[in-house]
Amino acid sequence: MTEPNANDDYTYRSQLNTAIDQLRLALKTADTGERIRLLNGALQNTGNAIGQLAQFNADGTRRPPRE
């Protein structure tokens, strides 16, 4: 059984925090192009965080790689 890695938790939280920051900035900006860029970035970072979480079981152990 593998112990949860602090770097994995940091990566997940970092991606999620970045997405939240991008959403906050998108609400404040009046530039439509910038808003779209920020929202796209937030979606990408959220997807990355979900992908990071998908590598682990509920008990924190790492799932085996898919073939």
Residue 3's pLDDT is 54
Residue 55: what are its φ and ψ, rounded to 5°? -80, -5
Q: What's residue 59's pLDDT?
A: 83
Sequence ranges of the domains in the chain: 11-54
Instruction: Give the global pTM.
Output: 0.72
pLDDT (tens, 9 = 90+) of the chain, 67 residues, equals: 445 566 777 888 899 999 999 999 999 999 999 999 999 999 999 998 888 888 888 787 888 877 7
Nearest to 56 by CA among 14, 3, 18: 3
Percent of residues in the chain assigned helix, strand, coil, to nearest 5: 65, 5, 30
> Is 13 within 8 Å of 29 (Cβ atoms)?
no
